Amino acid sequence: MTAKRPATLHDVARLAGVSVATASKALNGRRHVSTTTRADVLQAAERLAYSPNTLARGLVAGRTGMVGLLTSDLEGRLSIPILMGAEDAFGADRTSVLLCDARGDAVREGHHLRTLLSRRVDGLIVVGARPDPRRSIGRDLPVPVVYAYAPSDDPEDLSLVSDNVAGGRLAIRHLTEVGRRRIAHITGDPSYSAAHDRAHGARQELAAQGLELAGDRVYFGAWSEEWGRSATRMLLARHDAIDAVFAGSDQIARGVIDALHSSGLEVPRDVAVLGFDNWEILAASSQPPLSSVDMNLETLGRVAAERLAAAFDGKLGSGVEQLPCRLVPRESTAA
Amino acid sequence: MTAKRPATLHDVARLAGVSVATASKALNGRRHVSTTTRADVLQAAERLAYSPNTLARGLVAGRTGMVGLLTSDLEGRLSIPILMGAEDAFGADRTSVLLCDARGDAVREGHHLRTLLSRRVDGLIVVGARPDPRRSIGRDLPVPVVYAYAPSDDPEDLSLVSDNVAGGRLAIRHLTEVGRRRIAHITGDPSYSAAHDRAHGARQELAAQGLELAGDRVYFGAWSEEWGRSATRMLLARHDAIDAVFAGSDQIARGVIDALHSSGLEVPRDVAVLGFDNWEILAASSQPPLSSVDMNLETLGRVAAERLAAAFDGKLGSGVEQLPCRLVPRESTAA
């Protein structure tokens, strides 16, 4: 940005000591360029503040190298990992993913959408604030759109979501693998489909193993530590024979651990505790560190990018695609 | 986006039942338009998917209605509030703030910067991942740049940071106001200037009140719950007369509360605990809920927007501007 005359591809090639063709390949992320050469070219491009005529290049290739991520996530907790996964899949030196936050406000979302479209983004990723269906941003948009985390309410749209039923099954499978049999389930707000899906998966896996849920019922409540604490107190008052709690979120799990400790029970010796979300700040800092089911948000982002990239050359699919969760074991469920 | 013929300002005005002048004022966020009228016009604009010819308008007004936020924040915890504050200040229907995440990688940052500049953003906000000085993205850029949270290492740049020294003073003032006199300070990684600044402010305020820090020294360590727990155990082993702990972060404070509870001490009855960051997920869910110093990140964003807006018409200042923190009292320091 400091050069008086804008640097050209020739300047970059000269500084990197490679041919113009090689510099071009390296900058466009094509194969057949060694990692070292690529690094040299990128460094040269950076030193010269080389900025290809992006619009012109976009017109030629039919692409502008910019994808919009439209979110309503107030904390960035969901959208930043999805953004990172998408950018990694595109290649960060080929496509910038730009995030706009609509905060759940339709007017603001419309404004951001117009801004992104007027800048001729190549595609859009729409991330909801909660995993329930959200309003479609519309058909007939000039670019392909993929919904991630929250599905679109229009079945003609393509949505990528975490498979919460499979996540519930995974949780129970892990707890039984470490020898637990009397497993209770404390989860969040019953207005969230994800709460029911996780509980459904948990029941499926228990049934497959000839087990029943401990504590008679699923404890639905709120996505909070406070609910984890009070539900655990209720549970212990009525059913002292539990040896594990599957919590519907890491926040709930933190409350569960607190209440177990207050009742003189040790985790995992007396009761194993498993969370959901694998939110590092809560899970890794817990005492003991909390095992948790991870929704693979970066993978959602990566697959969203792949679907968009495929749509640049052809057709975008439709419907809801479920992606698997994974289990991250820590001490709270150690055998 | 579904209209075959793009909607015009006339269409919007007709649908909203107002004059074209009023519709224009409402869409441009000017004053002298009632809230109801404004809402009607925005709704009409949305229904018609009205998209003004942004580039043309940008050329006329010298602005494009798009500001870039270049961050390296891996969680969005710092940058999303700053983005929201900036957007609120600009008026969300006039300017979209687009976030790009460089993840601390200079090559990636350079690429994002070129993308944003090639899209002709009006200005840039650069947010660091930690509150220490970061490399300037350069002088002679075609648009004004404001650094928020982490200052630029170039004194010619304009940086807006939280006043951590004043934050430390604020913390001690609050603890003494609720009657505490034997206050210890457990804080994070000593390679962070913010850790020293907060400790410095705490000592200043203690001295002003004729008090000394309890526990002989500042307990520097890590920004983690685990450090909060182990430092508290050390502190209690040597100095049992403390009646308050000022923690350098909410994560540390959560560990402090845990360790106090494990030692049979009650919070706040026996020992008051005050955190820093006011990270809702940790502070509000704590038992008891945690009082904390808030760095006013949304205000940083708002002021960054104001400085950029002023620079569109004139000159951008330089140097480091310190913005105040505020205290958010909860139960952990109740009198």
Q: Which of A42, A54, A287 sits opposite B118 (nearest CB)?
A: A54
pLDDT at B52: 54
pLDDT at A3: 33
Tell me the two tokens of residue B158: 């304009």
How far, in Å, CA of B260 to CA of B87, rounded? 42
Tell me the mean pLDDT in the region A123-134: 94
Q: Which of A46, A103, A285 sits opposite B224 (nearest CB)?
A: A285
CB contact under 8 A, A76 and B76: yes
- What residues of A are in contact with residue B80 (Cβ under 8 Å)? 73-76, 101
CATH of the domain at B91: 3.40.50.2300
Q: Which of B87, B111, B138 sits opposite A93 (nearest CB)?
A: B111
The residue of chain A with its CA nearest to that of B110 is A46
Q: Is residue A332 part of a domain?
A: no
How far is A198 from chain B, CA to nearest CA, in Å?
22
CB contact under 8 A, B96 and A100: yes
How far, in Å, CA of B266 to CA of B272, rounded? 9
How far is B9 from chain A, CA to nearest CA, in Å?
15
Domain boundary among the residues A17, A32, A52 is at A52
Q: Is residue B158 part of a domain?
A: yes
- What residues of B are in contact with residue A80 (Cβ under 8 Å)? 73-76, 101
Q: Is residue A145 part of a domain?
A: yes
Could you tell me the pLDDT band of residue A10, with boundaries at 50, 70 and 90? confident
Tell me which of A193 and B43 has the higher pLDDT.
Answer: A193
Could you tell me the pLDDT band of residue A2, with boundaries at 50, 70 and 90? very low
Could you tell me the pLDDT band of residue B292, with boundaries at 50, 70 and 90? very high
Q: What's the pLDDT tens digit per position in A186-227?
A: 999 999 999 999 999 999 999 999 999 999 899 999 999 999
Tell me the two tokens of residue A290: 């909390």
pLDDT at B81: 95
pLDDT score of B53 more than 60? no
Kindly calculate the radius of gyration of chain B based on its CA atoms and give it in whole angstroms: 24
pLDDT at A31: 57
- What residues of A are in contact with residue B112 (Cβ under 8 Å)? 96
- What residues of A are in contact with residue B224 (Cβ under 8 Å)? 285
Q: Which of A75, A110, A138 sits opposite B2 (nearest CB)?
A: A138
Q: Are A108 and A102 in contact (CB under 8 A)?
A: yes
Give the count of domains, chain A: 3
The 3-class secondary structure across chain A, one letter per residue, is CCCCCCCCHHHHHHHHCCCHHHHHHHHCCCCCCCHHHHHHHHHHHHHCCCCCCHHHHHHHHCCCCEEEEEECCCCCCCHHHHHHHHHHHHCCCCCEEEEEECCCCHHHHHHHHHHHHHCCCCEEEEECCCCCCECCCCCCCCCCEEEECCCECCCCCEEEEECHHHHHHHHHHHHHHCCCCCEEEECCCCCCHHHHHHHHHHHHHHHHCCCCCCCCCCECCCCCHHHHHHHHHHHHHHCCCCCEEEECCHHHHHHHHHHHHHCCCCCCCCCEEEEECCCHHHHCCCCCCCEEEECCHHHHHHHHHHHHHHHHHCCCCCEEEEECCEEECCHHHCC
Q: Quick one: A182 exposed, middle or buried, by C-beta within 10 A (0-12, 13-18, 19+)? A: middle
How far is B210 from chain A, CA to nearest CA, in Å?
37
Please report which residue ranges of B92-240 form alpha helices under DSSP H.
Answer: 106-118, 164-177, 193-208, 225-238
- The pTM (predicted TM-score) of the whole model is 0.81
Q: Are A286 and A257 in contact (CB under 8 A)?
A: yes
Edge-first strand order for the sheet with A244-247 is A183-186, A244-247, A272-276, A291-294, A326-328
Q: Are strands B96-101 and B123-127 parallel, antiparallel or unpaired?
A: unpaired
- B169 and B118, same structural domain? no
- A200 and A290, same structural domain? yes
pLDDT score of B88 more than 60? yes
CB contact under 8 A, A96 and B77: no
Q: Is residue B334 part of a domain?
A: no
- B205 and B143, same structural domain? no
- A175 and A290, same structural domain? yes
CB contact under 8 A, A1 and B75: no
pLDDT score of A290 more than 70? yes
The residue of chain A with its CA nearest to that of B289 is A226
CB contact under 8 A, A115 and B106: no
- What residues of B are in contact with residue A225 (Cβ under 8 Å)? 285-287
pLDDT at B169: 98
Q: What's the pLDDT tens digit per position in A53-91?
A: 443 343 335 577 899 999 998 888 999 999 999 999 988
pLDDT score of B316 more than 60? yes
pLDDT at B10: 76
Q: Which of B49, B114, B281 sits opposite A51 (nearest CB)?
A: B114
CB contact under 8 A, A116 and B96: yes
CATH of the domain at A19: 1.10.260.40
Could you tell me the pLDDT band of residue B331, with boundaries at 50, 70 and 90? very high
How far is A135 from chain B, CA to nearest CA, in Å?
14
Q: Is residue A334 part of a domain?
A: no
A contact test, residue of B64, B103, B114 with most A CBs within 10 A: B114
pLDDT at A29: 57
- A106 and A23, same structural domain? no
Q: Which of A92, A97, A111 sits opposite B92 (nearest CB)?
A: A111
- B19 and B48, same structural domain? yes
Q: Is residue A330 part of a domain?
A: no
How far, in Å, CA of B319 to CA of B332, rounded? 37
Q: What's the pLDDT tens digit per position in B214-250?
A: 998 999 999 999 999 999 999 999 877 899 999 999 9
Could you tell me the pLDDT band of residue B168, with boundaries at 50, 70 and 90? very high
pLDDT at B18: 86
pLDDT score of B31 more than 70? no
Domain limits at A142? 62-162+296-325
CB contact under 8 A, B285 and A83: no
Task: Give me the amino acid identity at B112.
Answer: H
- B196 and B98, same structural domain? no
A contact test, residue of B115, B120, B121, B297 with most A CBs within 10 A: B115
Q: What's the pLDDT tens digit per position in A225-250?
A: 999 999 999 999 987 789 999 999 99
- What residues of A are in contact with residue B114 (Cβ under 8 Å)? 49-51, 54
A-B Cβ pairs (cutoff 8 Å, strict) = 159
CB contact under 8 A, A46 and B83: no
- B28 and B118, same structural domain? no
- A158 and A168, same structural domain? no
pLDDT at B30: 55
Q: Is residue B284 part of a domain?
A: yes
How far, in Å, CA of A131 to CA of A276, rounded? 14
- A300 and A290, same structural domain? no
How far, in Å, CA of B17 to CA of B43, rounded? 12
The residue of chain A with its CA nearest to that of B286 is A225
pLDDT at B51: 60
pLDDT at A58: 39
Tell me which of B104 and A172 has the higher pLDDT.
Answer: A172
CB contact under 8 A, A93 and B108: yes
Q: Are B252 and B230 in contact (CB under 8 A)?
A: no
- A220 and A140, same structural domain? no
A contact test, residue of B67, B80, B135 with most A CBs within 10 A: B80
pLDDT at A181: 97
Q: What's the pLDDT tens digit per position in A34-52?
A: 777 877 887 787 777 666 5
How far, in Å, CA of B308 to CA of B305, rounded? 5
pLDDT at B322: 96
CB contact under 8 A, A112 and B93: no
CB contact under 8 A, B45 and A74: no
B contact test, residue of A98, A122, A143, A254 with most B CBs within 10 A: A98
- B107 and B69, same structural domain? yes
pLDDT score of B157 more than 90? yes
How far, in Å, CA of B160 to CA of A18, rounded? 42
Average pLDDT, chain B: 89
pLDDT at B147: 98
Write the DSSP symbol of residue B331: G
Could you tell me the pLDDT band of residue A149, with boundaries at 50, 70 and 90? very high
Kindly calculate the radius of gyration of chain A based on its CA atoms and give it in whole angstroms: 24
- What residues of A are in contact with residue B106 (Cβ under 8 Å)? 46
Non-local CB neighbours of B127 within 8 Å, separated by 6+ positions:
B69, B70, B71, B72, B73, B78, B79, B82, B147, B148, B149, B150
A contact test, residue of B4, B12, B111 with most A CBs within 10 A: B111
pLDDT at B180: 98
Q: What's the pLDDT tens digit per position in B106-136?
A: 889 999 999 999 888 999 999 998 999 999 9
% of chain B surpassing 70 pLDDT? 91
Q: Is residue A69 part of a domain?
A: yes
- What residues of B are in contact with residue A73 (Cβ under 8 Å)? 76, 80
